[in-house]
Structure 1
Amino acid sequence: MTFKTLTCAAALALLPAISFAMCAGKDHQAQSCAPGSIWDPATESCVEQISS
């Protein structure tokens, strides 16, 4: 096999492990808040929506 083929095969074999490692420890879930509230990413909670 050529070097190029071996490199591509190695990259394809390692890709799932690399992508899993990048997302490890992060919880991804849809967040919905009650009416009148919005999601605040800084506090990671629903906060009351203030209208001006």
Structure 2
Amino acid sequence: VIQHEHDHLDGILFVDHLNPLRKRLLQGRLRDISKGRTDVKYKMRFPQVK
């Protein structure tokens, strides 16, 4: 947990620790999440597009 929080201070995300193949497999799902095309039971906030 401490490493996870420390990574945030350095701007490192969980996906930065994944190997290239796993990252590639997740790209589509992550893109859908970033565009709000996902169904969750909690509130999500998205960055404003400039």
Q: TM-score, normalised by structure 1?
A: 0.34
Q: TM-score, normalised by structure 2?
A: 0.35
Higher strand share: 1
Whose radius of gyration is greater, 1 or 2? 1
Higher helix share: 2
